[in-house]
Each structure stands twice: as structure tokens, then as C-alpha cells.
A and B are shown apart, each in its own frame.
Chain A
Amino acid sequence: MTGPGRGHETRQLVDHLFRNRAGQLVAWLTRVFGPAHLQLAEEVVQDALVKALQQWPYSGIPDNPAGWLLRVARNGALDALRRDVSFRGRAGAIAAEIARTADALAGDPVALDGLLRDDELRMIFLCCHPSLPQEARVALSLKTVGGFSVAEIARALLGSDKAIAQRLVRAKRQLRDTGATFELPAGAELESRLESVLEVIYLLFNEGYSAHAGDDLVRLDLCGEALRLARLVAGSATTSAPAAHALTALIAFQTARIPARVDGAGDMVLLEQQDRALWDPHLIALGFAHFERSAAGPVVTAYHIQAAIAAVHAGGHTVTAWAHVLGLYDDLLVLNPSPVVALNRAVALSKVAGPARALAEIAALEGDPALANYFLLPAVKGRLLAEMGDRRRAAASFRAALERACSEPERRWLVRRLAEVETAEITESTESTESTETTESTESTKSTKRLTPGERE
């Protein structure tokens, strides 16, 4: 054995190699063991990763790290089959299948990748089995396909480690008890399962894109994983429905703008202050490619309209075509009449028809229990009031927003806006009319920094 990096000083691991391979290997072993043995598949793969951690620091990264992991997982799986009596008569056939796949594909990365991708896709569909409650589907997808640890899932979903661990144990037991199979369902069942898969991916993405708690405005990990899964579903002939393309487009557009949404200090940057040169042109191109394919068919889903809104934003290299965005929100509201959509629409309306009209719409939303703890409602209201020069009520709205849960960068943003209107308030009451006017004009310049939930969703 040579030492680490000897003669290969530059050999590096591909980003997320372990995460991606772990998901694929778990999927592969779940197929050959059967879904009842998902837990065992996870343990075998974890052991293989740990072996790499124990070996590579001394011997260096092998020439084909993915092949190395496959080989070690293969050996671990064969050992497990010998130990685990629950396989009984099936053990021989399973062992033969494992050896056959691993030996044939270890040296052929392309064929291996194709096979594992296929298994991974089936794995997502298994995680979204109708026998599981939705929260279990999300957690199980993150664990098995996304390669997240229990602690990472708990952080992402704002649950405790213990609760997530229990949720996963229950979900695996449920899959075993229902006798869930690894094959993709067909016909109408495929359609409804696909709907659930897209919903889980959408939730993952939303959780990453607008985390409403914690230190980070965006959890890139979750966004990246959601994009990867969406592309996997949209890229497979069996599952590439127009809605899958629409969702992929939406996620690609939104992810493209992430680098501009947070500044160097981790603070939130609103759409109109964003340096649009930071938007990722490759992801925007990817978004448009999927957006085009989402139009193949008569179906228009909420993903289609949200992707269309995101496309307007992503296509706006200097300014945003707000009238177009407003029209799309009208359509979205018909398909998905939720108060959050209505709030987003109000923001677009304010850009087109002014803050007073938007405030009237928001007033109608204020009693809605679904928005009772949603900090963006008072935050948007505060911005609109500030824009109209009503600093007293703007300050009250920002204070109300600060009482609701939000992420740390969002909280800092609210504190700054509150300070701005409060300073202006004091200036107004203590200084001459002339200086009030000066403050007024400063404030109206600042008011272009508008909070736009439309850019967040």
C-alpha cells in the first residue's frame, strides 16, 4: 500500500460522491434483499462507507472510489446473507444476483450508473408508498435516497433526533408489514404515486429554499437533493410526466438564483437588490429546457404555473415583468386557492397597481388561521405601509412579524427595517417639516427594497 495521495497528489473525491453512492447502493440492495430488509441494506452500505473512512487515510483514495465502495458493499451483503437466517431458502439466489451485478459492473461505471439510477428511482417510489403518512415519506426519502443522517433530517424538518428515528423505524416496519414491492406501480396507481413523489420533492425543496427557522436562509443541501431527485424522475421514460418537468424547471430556476439571495454576511438580499450576474446560467438553461418539455400535454398543474412565474423572474435580466407575474398568480390562485398564494399575488399586485390596492387584498387575509403564524404576512404589510409613508403602522407590522417564527437572516432583515421606520418616526416628530421631507424621500428610495415572497416560493 502506498500512503495517502502518493503520486496522486491531486486525486480528489467527486462532490457528494458518498451521499449519492450511498443512496444508490441502498436502493440496489433493497431491490435484491426485498423492501422488508431495507434496514439491513442501510447497515451494509454504512459499513462500506465506514471501511473507506478506516482504510483510505492510510492507503490513499483508490483509482475507482465508487467501484471500491460497490465491491465492499457486495462483500458485506454476502456476509449478511450468510448470517441472517430470515432469508432462509432465498439466500442462495440473492447472493448469486449480488455477485453477478457487482462483478459485472464494478469495472463498467456507465452501465453501473444506469442500473443504480434505475434502482434509485424505484426507491423514491417505494419511500412514497401510499401506506406511509406523508411526513414519513419525506423522512424516509431523505434517509435512504438522500443519504441524510437522522440528525441532519431532524435539523432539516425541525424535529428531534428521537422523533425522526422513531418515524423511520415505524416507516420501515410499515413497508415490511404491507408487503410493499420494489417494482414501479402501473397505470392509475403509477400516476397517483408519481403525484406523491413530486409532492415530497417539492416539500424538500421548499424546506431548503425558505427555511423558516435556523441560522441559514437557504439550506443548499436540501435544494440540491430536491433538484437531483426531480431530474431523476423527469429523466426516466416511465415517470417523465409533464408535471415532473414542470417541478424540475421550478426547482432549477429557483436554485439558479440562490447565490444572489444571500450576501457575504449571510443576510437576505431581496430580488431588486440582487446582483443578477450571480444567477447560475446553467441552471437557468436547465430550467428552460424542462419548462419547454412540461408543455407536452394538456395538463396544467400548480407546478407549471409556479415554474412559469419562476421563469419570468429568471428571464428578467434587469427588471421583472410584474404584470406577467400577476397574471400567472391569478391562474395559480384558481388552481390552488391558498392564502399563501394570495399573499404572493398581493405582492405582485403592489408592483403593478401600487401598495394601497395590495394592502386592501392583504386585509382580507389577516383573519385566515393558516397565516396566523406566518411572519411574511405582517412583514409584507409593513413594507407596503412603509412605502406609503405610514411609518407608525409599518413599525407595528414589523414588530408583529418579529413575534413569529422565522430564520435568523430574516429576523435580522426585519430588525433593520423596523429600525429604519422607527428612526424616521423620531425624526418626523422632533425635526422641522423640511427635514421630514428629506427623510421621506430617503424612505421612498429605500422602499424599493420590498419584501417579495413571490421570489421565495
Chain B
Amino acid sequence: MAKFMLLLYDDPASFATMSPEQIQKVIEKYMAWGARLKKAGVWSASHKLTDEPGKVMRGKGPGVRVTDGPYSETKEILGGYYLIEVESYDQAMDQARDCPHLEYGGTIEVRQVDNMGA
């Protein structure tokens, strides 16, 4: 069994005009999706990242530079991630395919955790 990260990117500005009822509906869809991952036994962890853009470090020794970021060209930011256990990229994408994140215009990046042949 391999581990995959589902990295969820979205544009928080797109939520500004949603009504409370719409927001609740979206949350309920995520909950149903998450519950399905658990039922299928593939869910391993999920975390939200804080809203500030974080820090980027570059350079070495006394020359290490720290900047705010990462600022990408797009407005999308990495909001959080899910760690799931499945056999293959195909299976990982099958799990992610009906994630409401996609329905609401977000992007999901799927990456496999490298277990170095262990």
C-alpha cells in the first residue's frame, strides 16, 4: 500500500459572495466525501494550513534570506492536505475525483509519498 498526498488549492476570495446556506451545503459535501474515505479505509490524516502565506527561506549560513510567501502568480493558495493510503495514482485520483473541492473550482495536486522501496 502506498501513501498519497492530496494537496488542495483554492482561491479564498471565491467564498466572499456565498450565502450561509450555500456554505453549509458545501461543508456537508466535504463531510460526506471525508466520511466515504474513512469508510473505504483509505483516510490516514488531514490538516488545514494556516491562512498566512508562510515563510520562504533561501541561501545558506549567515546569508539565509527569509521572505513571506510563497506567492504564486495565481490567486490559489494551498489550503490543506489529505493523506490517503491506496495502491496507485489511479486509485488516488479515483478517491479525489468526487471531492467537492473540484466542484467548487479548486485544484487538487496528487503526489505520492516516496517510501524509498521500503
A interface residue numbers (CB < 8 A to B): 1, 3-6, 9, 12-13, 16-19, 21-22, 46, 49-50, 52-61, 147-152, 221
**How far, in whole Å, are A355 and B7 apart by their CA atoms in the complex?**
69
Q: A57 and B31: CB pair below 8 A?
A: yes
**B34, B38, B51: which has the most chain A beta carbons within 10 Å?**
B34
Q: Which of B38-62 contact A (CB under 8 A)?
A: 38-39, 43, 45-48, 51
Binding-face segment, B20-28, B67-75, B90-98: B20-28
**How far, in whole Å, are A49 and B15 apart by their CA atoms in the complex?**
9
Q: A19 and B21: CB pair below 8 A?
A: yes
Q: B23 and A57: CB pair below 8 A?
A: no
**How far, in whole Å, are A60 and B30 apart by their CA atoms in the complex?**
9
Q: Taking the complex as formed, is B105 at the interface, i.e. its CB lies under 8 A from any CB of chain A?
A: no
Q: A58 and B43: CB pair below 8 A?
A: no
Residues of A within 8 A of B43 (CB): 3
**How far, in whole Å, are A91 and B43 apart by their CA atoms in the complex?**
46
Q: Taking the complex as formed, is B19 at the interface, i.e. its CB lies under 8 A from any CB of chain A?
A: yes
Nearest CB on B from A366, distance (A): 42
Q: Taking the complex as formed, is B18 at the interface, i.e. its CB lies under 8 A from any CB of chain A?
A: yes
Q: How many A-B residue pairs have CB under 8 A?
A: 102
**How far, in whole Å, are A53 and B14 apart by their CA atoms in the complex?**
12
Q: B19 and A57: CB pair below 8 A?
A: no
Residues of B within 8 A of A16 (CB): 21, 24
**B27, B28, B30, B34: which has the most chain A beta carbons within 10 Å?**
B27
**How far, in whole Å, are A357 and B79 apart by their CA atoms in the complex?**
69
Q: B80 and A57: CB pair below 8 A?
A: yes
Q: Is the interface of B mostly helix, strand, loop or mixed?
A: helix
Q: A58 and B48: CB pair below 8 A?
A: yes
Closest to B83 in A: A3
Q: Taking the complex as formed, is B102 at the interface, i.e. its CB lies under 8 A from any CB of chain A?
A: no
Interface size on B, residues (CB 8 A): 31
Q: Taking the complex as formed, is B35 at the interface, i.e. its CB lies under 8 A from any CB of chain A?
A: yes
**How far, in whole Å, are A19 and B21 apart by their CA atoms in the complex?**
5
Assuming the A-B contacts A50-B15, A54-B48, A57-B27, are A4 and B34 also in contact, with contact meaning beta carbons closer than 8 angstroms in the complex? yes
Q: A49 and B23: CB pair below 8 A?
A: yes
Q: Taking the complex as formed, is B17 at the interface, i.e. its CB lies under 8 A from any CB of chain A?
A: yes
Nearest CB on B from A81, distance (A): 20
Nearest CB on B from A198, distance (A): 24
Q: A13 and B38: CB pair below 8 A?
A: no
Assuming the A-B contacts A58-B48, A58-B80, A59-B48, are A4 and B31 also in contact, with contact meaning beta carbons closer than 8 angstroms in the complex? yes
Residues of B within 8 A of A59 (CB): 46-48
Closest to B21 in A: A19
Residues of A within 8 A of B80 (CB): 54, 57-58
Q: List 23 A-B contacts (CB under 8 A).
A: A1-B47, A1-B48, A4-B30, A5-B31, A5-B35, A12-B31, A13-B28, A16-B21, A18-B20, A18-B23, A19-B20, A22-B20, A53-B18, A53-B27, A55-B48, A57-B27, A57-B46, A58-B46, A58-B48, A148-B19, A149-B19, A152-B21, A221-B21
Closest to A9 in B: B35
Closest to B45 in A: A3
Q: A152 and B27: CB pair below 8 A?
A: no
Residues of B within 8 A of A147 (CB): 19-21
Assuming the A-B contacts A9-B35, A57-B34, A57-B80, are A50 and B21 also in contact, with contact meaning beta carbons closer than 8 angstroms in the complex? no
Q: A56 and B31: CB pair below 8 A?
A: yes
**How far, in whole Å, are A17 and B33 apart by their CA atoms in the complex?**
20
**How far, in whole Å, are A207 and B24 apart by their CA atoms in the complex?**
24
Q: B48 and A149: CB pair below 8 A?
A: no
Residues of A within 8 A of B82 (CB): 3, 58
**How far, in whole Å, are A217 and B96 apart by their CA atoms in the complex?**
37
Assuming the A-B contacts A54-B12, A54-B79, are A152 and B31 also in contact, with contact meaning beta carbons closer than 8 angstroms in the complex? no
Given contacts A57-B31, A57-B48, A58-B46, 19 further A-B contacts (CB under 8 A): A1-B46, A1-B47, A3-B34, A3-B43, A3-B46, A4-B34, A4-B46, A5-B38, A6-B38, A17-B24, A22-B20, A49-B23, A50-B18, A53-B23, A53-B27, A56-B30, A58-B47, A58-B48, A149-B19
